[in-house]
Amino acid sequence: MSGSLPEPRPPVSERRDLFSKLIFNTLRDARRFWRSSFTGAARSRENLRARIAIGLHFLEYGSALEGARPGHGQEKANQLAADIDTFIGHFGPDATTEIALRTLEGYLAFNAGSDIDLDAIRQVVARHRDSRDTGLRGGVETVTADDIQKHGMIDFMSFAEARHSIRTYKKADVPKSSIAQAVRIAQQSPSSCNRQTCRARIWTDPADIARITALQNGNRGFGDQLGGIAIITSDLAHWEHAHERYQGWIDGGMFAMSFAYGLHAEGLGAVMLNWSVTHDQDDKLRHLINLPESELVITMVGFGVLPEKLKVPVSQRKPLDYALVLNAPLPDAEHEM
């Protein structure tokens, strides 16, 4: 049976217009990535922050590997030390350099007693060790399976099944502490090289919510009930290579879902509000909220206080065999390209 449908294709002129729109928006995406990322060289504070995050993450996971040997990642460690020196010299110390310095301290401790030349790294650590100390950590730590399982083995299926896309809200203020906690939970999401590129830009004033939701067409009938609106973004300034051009969407999607789960854990309702738009609409939102060009809008999340009783869509999930493909056969090794 053929997988295609006998639906007639649009006229040639309409197909040409659709294709032109696709190309135009794709080129705009490429332009934004090129201007914002540090392909070729770090050109901004965020670019250098990203390179520091990449370097310290490389050392952290390398030191955590079973069988890690002295001297692993020395080239990365030297680059990290140089980047810390440059960053503090230009911008002063911040959370990123503090975490990176703690990571380099751990790297030096790991290599203690070896005859590897780490003097350049020691000098940078000594020079900046006390530049900022707020208790942030870096490096590796030892945990046990019992520790992980004790806190992680909850009835997550029941938790997930109890979450709904809420479109009915009680008129009440959302506690700021709950919003902050949901963002902290979102920050625990995985991110490429632990770059943590995502932000939740949040408004709770009804007038501000109304101006923002007016640009999004999926909130009709309930947008005026929302107690808050979050715009989830990912900063393209943290990406470097062409193969990372879509990574912001991936990291941003995980951050957004974790944020929604965080709201759910705080007893609040939430709904994802799609932001799949063309650049003309995207530009309107950017202008309204004064969003930097480098930040990619991933999605919006509306949220608020739950009423005592409400109706929600059933949203029946497809059978498991649609989503789960387990141990599909692979071609013989000699037939691989």
Q: What's the pLDDT tens digit per position in 162-176?
A: 999 999 999 999 999
Q: Is the dihedral of CA 294, 299, 301, 302 positive or negative?
A: positive
Residue 316, helix vs strand vs coil: coil
pLDDT value of position 336: 66
pLDDT classification of 272: cutoffs 50, 70, 90 = very high
**Which value, to the nearest 10 degrees, does the dihedral of the CA atoms of residues 146, 147, 149, 155 take?**
140
The number of domains in the chain is 2
Mean pLDDT of the chain: 94
Give how far Cα 68 sits from Cα of 3, 72, 73, 99, 269, Å. 51, 7, 10, 21, 45
Q: What's the pLDDT tens digit per position in 191-246?
A: 999 999 999 999 999 999 999 999 999 999 999 999 999 999 999 999 999 999 99
Q: Are residues 171 and 263 in the same domain?
A: yes
Q: Looking at the domain assignment, is residue 327 inside a domain?
A: no
Residues of the domain holding 130: 15-138
pLDDT classification of 142: cutoffs 50, 70, 90 = very high
Q: What's the pLDDT tens digit per position in 61-119?
A: 999 999 889 999 999 999 999 999 999 999 999 999 999 999 999 999 999 989 899 99
Alpha carbons within 13 A on the beta-carbon side of 160: 7
Separation CA 122–CA 101 (nearest Å): 10
Q: Looking at the domain assignment, is residue 310 inside a domain?
A: no
- Closest to 57 in 3D by CA, of 84, 77, 85, 86: 77
Secondary structure letter of residue 263 according to DSSP? H
Q: Looking at the domain assignment, is residue 7 inside a domain?
A: no
Q: Which domain-ending residue is among 89, 107, 138?
A: 138
Separation CA 294–CA 199 (nearest Å): 12
Q: Are residues 127 and 188 in the same domain?
A: no
- Closest to 52 in 3D by CA, of 16, 85, 13, 12: 85
Q: Are residues 134 and 231 in the same domain?
A: no
Q: Looking at the domain assignment, is residue 322 inside a domain?
A: no
Q: Looking at the domain assignment, is residue 232 inside a domain?
A: yes
The distance in angstroms from the start CA to the end CA of the chain is 29
Asked if residue 320 has pLDDT above 70, the reply is: yes
| Least confident window among 11-20, 102-111, 286-295 | 11-20
pLDDT value of position 2: 59
Give how far Cα 226 sits from Cα of 212, 286, 298, Å. 12, 21, 19
Q: Looking at the domain assignment, is residue 313 inside a domain?
A: no
The CATH code of the domain that includes 296 is 3.40.109.10
Q: Looking at the domain assignment, is residue 321 inside a domain?
A: no
Tokens of 42: 């770090």
Q: Are residues 194 and 298 in the same domain?
A: yes
Q: Are residues 197 and 285 in the same domain?
A: yes
